[in-house]
Amino acid sequence: MTARGWDDLSRILRQYEKHNITVNQNVVGQYLQDEKIARDFAIYYDLYQKYKSDYQVREILAGTADPSLVKRARNAKFDERYSLLGLLLDGLGQDAANVIIQ
């Protein structure tokens, strides 16, 4: 797998997300030639999207998240907490980019 392949995959994922098109293992497999890596990535991506939907990152960052959501995050297993951390960092990065652009 080349850096170019990862970059191409990243670009297609952004476009799929922008147009609400489902990403599956077949799509990922077009960019990641190793079947195991493509399967593992697709599984993780699905899980990441689930957490993105379940956790209201904007509300968390604004300090207005429902207490049950905070409790869920506190009691989550490592992989879920790790994914949530990624979502929060992504949200902060977007906020920082918006400030820089203005």
Question: What's the pLDDT score for residue 19?
Answer: 95
pTM attached to this predicted model: 0.74
Indicate whether 15 pLDDT > 90. Answer: yes
Mean confidence (pLDDT) of the chain:
90
- Sign of the four-CA dihedral 73, 11, 102, 93: positive
The residues spanned by each domain of the chain are 1-54, 56-102
The interaxial angle of helices 78-101 and 35-54, nearest 10 deg, is: 70
Nearest alpha carbon to residue 56 among 48, 66, 46, 71: 66
Question: What's the pLDDT score for residue 102?
Answer: 74
What is the band of 34 on the pLDDT scale with cuts at 50, 70, 90? confident
Nearest alpha carbon to residue 42 among 25, 55, 56: 25
What is the band of 33 on the pLDDT scale with cuts at 50, 70, 90? confident
What is the band of 91 on the pLDDT scale with cuts at 50, 70, 90? very high
Nearest alpha carbon to residue 70 among 90, 50, 56: 56
Indicate whether 1 pLDDT > 70. Answer: no
